[in-house]
Amino acid sequence: MEQGQEQMQEILHAQENLQNREEELSLEEAFARIEEVIAHLEAEEITLEQSFIEYNRGMKLLQHCNETIDRVEKKVLKINEDGGLDEF
């Protein structure tokens, strides 16, 4: 039982390290990592635990992409006095 808990803690620690590195990725790098995640999930020999980890990794990468795109859009557009959008 303790060995299983130790393995899970190691996996969670590895996920945290990976997440910290992925937060610094460019959009292109993040999209490439998402493609890796999809390939891993499509592999026949993946375990349920591994698929759960990969799924979470993919969701965090997608969240990173969405946040990055939102930041870029906010920098590019601003609302003018008439309620229209102007580019910076």
**pTM beyond 0.85:** no
pLDDT, average across residues 15-34: 78
pLDDT of residue 69: 92
Cβ atoms of residues 11 and 46 within 8 Å: no
Confidence of residue 39 (pLDDT cuts 50, 70, 90): very high
CA–CA distance, 75 with 10 (Å, rounded to integer): 39
CA–CA distance, 55 with 2 (Å, rounded to integer): 25
From the CA atom positions of the chain, what is the Rg in Å? Answer: 18
Q: Which residues contact 18 (CB under 8 A, 6 or more apart)?
A: 57
72: pLDDT strictly greater than 80: yes
